[in-house]
Amino acid sequence: MDILYIIGRGSKWNNKELLYSLRSIAKNGINVGRVFVAGYIPPFVNRKEVICVPVEDKTDTKHYNILHAIEEAVERTDIGCNDNGDFLYSSDDHFYIKPTDFAQYPFYWRGADLPANLSPDDKHKKYHTTLISTRKLLEAYDLPFYHFAWHGNTHFTTRLWNDEVFKRMRRLSYIMPEGCEPTCLMLNYWITRDDVQMKVRSDIKLGMYETRATFQTKVEGREVFSSVDNIQCSYMAEYLQTNFPDKCKYEV
């Protein structure tokens, strides 16, 4: 299974999230095909082992830039050619701490619908506006609007990028307020297929913890975890440095 990372500029930790995610894949990944990085290419990435697709951000709208970078990766490379067009879209701050089969990664959703409205005082207004725009576009095409935006890793397929209806949806998403969330857009279009399996997610995110012991307890038993907070403000950085200290083939 090919793996695609989308990297934007402005990392708070010099893109070490990607560094340790790559190390965790090298150590614990099963059925890992080629690794692709689209967007900003950090200098530590080994271009002999990683297929790089430099893409400049077009706007200050995050989800517009993500979707554009995915499109560029699909159009400029042969990603997914060994798996019937399928590839795994991975977040750079996901870390695999147990053996993980990337060919069997499930489709998780929140068990709820995308929001239909927004509270004026919501501190996540910009992000929720993206989700609302995504729902409106899906409804316009009479499609379901499951909440897949759980900050997780999901199988995508290059087959959709040549689908004429999905092409129109992608073009329209660029003019929606704050853009559309790519995972929600793609999967709600794709899940009409009978062979797509969905599961309600379990929460893999970690927040701020006061002690190292609390953090360690939260990590134990997990296959993968990520953080909802600045990675430098938790024990995650220390944990990653301890558990993935060695360079891997994906870095110079």
Does residue 140 sit within a domain?
Answer: yes
Does residue 241 sit within a domain?
Answer: no
Does residue 23 sit within a domain?
Answer: no
Handedness of CA 114, 116, 122, 124 (dihedral sign): positive
Considering its fold, how many domains does the chain have in total?
1
What average pLDDT score do residues 145-170 get? Answer: 86
Which pair of structure tokens corresponds to residue 5? 């990372």
Distance CA 192, CA 60 (A): 32
Does residue 214 sit within a domain?
Answer: no
| pLDDT over 90 percentage in the chain | 49
Range name among 28-37, 56-65, 74-83, 106-115 with the lowest pLDDT average: 106-115
Does residue 95 sit within a domain?
Answer: no
| pLDDT over 70 percentage in the chain | 88
Structural domain that includes position 118: 106-152+175-201
pLDDT surpasses 70 at 230 = no
- Of the pLDDT bands very low, low, confident and very high (cuts 50, 70, 90), residue 125 is confident
Q: What is the mean pLDDT of the chain?
A: 87
Range name among 79-83, 117-121, 157-161, 236-240 with the lowest pLDDT average: 117-121
User: Which of 148, 89, 142, 91 is closest to 114 using CA atoms?
Assistant: 148
Does residue 132 sit within a domain?
Answer: yes
Specify the pLDDT at position 228.
66
Distance CA 58, CA 66 (A): 10
Range name among 100-104, 179-183, 246-250 with the lowest pLDDT average: 100-104
Does residue 119 sit within a domain?
Answer: yes
Does residue 192 sit within a domain?
Answer: yes
What average pLDDT score do residues 203-224 get? Answer: 77
pLDDT surpasses 70 at 241 = yes
The structure's pTM equals 0.91
- Phi then psi dihedrals of residue 56, to 5 deg: -85, 140
- Of the pLDDT bands very low, low, confident and very high (cuts 50, 70, 90), residue 234 is confident
Distance CA 111, CA 114 (A): 10
pLDDT surpasses 70 at 193 = no
Q: What is the pLDDT of residues 1-59, one digit of tens each?
A: 999 999 988 777 889 999 999 999 999 999 999 999 999 999 999 999 999 999 998 88
